[in-house]
Each structure stands twice: as C-alpha cells, then as structure tokens.
Amino acid sequence: MAEKRRFKKRYCKYCERKTDFMDYKDISSLKFSLSERYKIMPRRLTGNCKRHQDMIAKTIKQARAAALIPYTVSRKAVVLTPFEEIK
C-alpha cells in the first residue's frame, strides 16, 4: 500500500508530452502505467486522462501479445524496477 504515495501528483504524463500515438514497441513510454508486476496501473493512481488511459491499455495489450511485456509475473520473480533489464 505504500506504493500509492508515489503517485501523488495528478496530471497526465502523456498530455504533458502531447502524445497522440503510442508505439507498442516503445516500452519506455509505457512504463509509467505498469506496476512492478506488469499490471496496468489504474487511472486513479497514475492521474492519466481517460483518452490516454484507453490508449495505454490498448498499447500494453499489443505489447503483451508481441511478448515485449509479460502477462503475469510469478510471485518470486517480482522486481522493484521492472524495466531495469529492458531499456
């Protein structure tokens, strides 16, 4: 539950960057909306707007289908920084 504190600021990071298109291959731009277990973060925590949250959800699902992001992470394999090895 301590994680909730990390998302104090409420603004859409994607609006700030004026993102109109998300590439499923560009994982670094998706990491803001993935938890350490590669789950899609809910909008109430990330502060994303509805439009971008929908885009993210769609893009993450594409990335999962392309095996760029795992669907599930086993309990033992949980890492604090999931994108350490990607980049």
What is the binding site for Zn ion (CB under 5 A)?
A: 12, 14-15, 49, 52
Residue nearer to Zn ion on the CB measure, 52 or 63? 52
Residue nearer to Zn ion on the CB measure, 47 or 73? 47
| In the chain, alpha helices (H) | 13-16, 43-46, 50-65
CA–CA gap between residue 87 and residue 24 (Å, rounded): 14
Smallest gap from residue 42 Cβ to Zn ion (A): 15
Smallest gap from residue 13 Cβ to Zn ion (A): 8
Smallest gap from residue 71 Cβ to Zn ion (A): 25
Residue nearer to Zn ion on the CB measure, 19 or 62? 19
